[in-house]
Structure 1
Amino acid sequence: MYENNSAGQNYRILSIYQLLLDGKKLSKKELALQYYVSDKTIQRDFSEIKNFLQASYTGKILEYDKRQNVYMFKQNEQNYLLPEEVLAISKIILEARAIPKNEMHRILNKLVSLASNENKELIQSIIHNEKQLYVELQQSKSAMSYIWEIETAIFQKKEIEIYYKKELDPVESVSNQNIMSNELSMLQDTISQNHQEESDTLRNMEMYLEKLTAMEDVVQAYLETSSDSQEQVVSKMTNEFTTILANLNSTTSAIINQLMDYNHNVHDHQKIASTMLEKLGNSKLN
């Protein structure tokens, strides 16, 4: 049984106020029976609550429904957000994905609490799936305190120093690693191809030099065994020498061109290697 003293009165009024906040519709007669007081006492309690609402900025109105004979809280729509406004702001927060998930839930719960009691459950149901499937940005950190500090400093016209450090995104890091791997593979293939071409050219040159070295024996043997005249032998040997010399000139030119290309490729490879080392250095620093 509740005593009708100051402490009991305060407890009763706070209990009734909490029930109204929870969206309950309260009957004066039922409350009188529950707290063992008269109907007039409960009426005075409602008057106290009404006076408190008028004196404070709560955005709530104590309303009496004559048809149901109950008291209830109503939202003052001029001071509080409409349900469609709460829903629109909630959607913007969810779509932005700029807030960590735990902080997003806390903000949305506060936001939905500003809607009228009859609309809170509906709004929660509408945004439920989006809240559960919410994916924050990678390495998303709470920026609320930073935003507050920066905006306060700007308002107070204080000097701000900002130290910027670039953070390498994991996706970008993997992409850079793949690019560097591809570049390294291409570099190795190019170097291998250059070595192969050089080897082929040198073998051709050695072959033609061997032919020249052996040409004296070939000429001597040809003179001893051939029935051709000396003029015919000289003519054939001249043609053979001309062909060999032409091949040697061609091979020599090819070697010179390959050396020039090789020097050019070495320069390009050095630039590629330098770029790759710089990327690796930036990856390690970040």
Structure 2
Amino acid sequence: MKRIMKAKTIVRNRILSLITGIAVLLFMSVSLSSCDIATNQGGKGTLKVVMVDAPGNYEEVWVHIVRVEVNNANDEGSGWIVISEPDESYDLLELINGANVVLGEAELDEGTYRQIRLILGNDNYVVIGGQSYPMMTPSAQQTGIKLNVNAEIEAGFTYTLLLDFDAQRSVVKRGATGTYLLKPVIRAVNTALTGNITGMVEPAEPGAWVYAIAGSDTVSTTRTIDTGEFTLVGLIDGFYSVSVEPVDEDYESVQIGDVEVKAGQVTNLGVIELTSSE
């Protein structure tokens, strides 16, 4: 009889220990989950804004950027947050083949930021044949250049937003008046979702235009540097056709199909040999 009572006592104690252990584990789990939620709700992430350029047939294209802002509200008229106030002029044609400029960086509360806005100043001009021509910027100095980005900022992470400014399509000549307009054509992408294409064109002189094409859309454009090298930046995952168009018409253009790009990687096409068109 004593053995039976002793056995029941042991079983009861084990059950109590098991229940106590489970309760402790549940408490720890709830506590840890609460900490995670609190961290996420109150945390901050970083937004970094970088600008590059698709080159154009100009000697220089200068853009005066006064302020960079983002918007985290549904209403476009409110919710704007200043990222930076560079108040600097940039020659877009210096920002090719992987070269870039950081327009600003700031810590933000986590969440979705729907738009970015560039407020331009007065010092915008294009240089053609050694002559500078001012560029008018309709509304860009008041309401700014707005781009939809839907950037998801997460606590503890840096979100790098790449602004690819297409100089060739952004500069517009007004008929025979000799005046120019700046109507910015800009592509905005999250660099974490993109890869690059590199290669070298031979002969290096006199240079070539290089295009990354998806379907009928020219996604990225660049021009070879003095060594013949080139880099097409900010390309999302997928397959592209790469078109190489020599500046000298004595050479044939080259088309390369099914070039795969993966996020965070560089696809190297190696040496691309140009052949004479004669």
Structure 1 length-normalised TM: 0.19
Determine which structure has the larger helix proportion and give its number: 1
Relative contact order, higher structure (CA 8 A, sep 6+): 2
Name which one, 1 or 2, has greater alpha-carbon Rg: 1
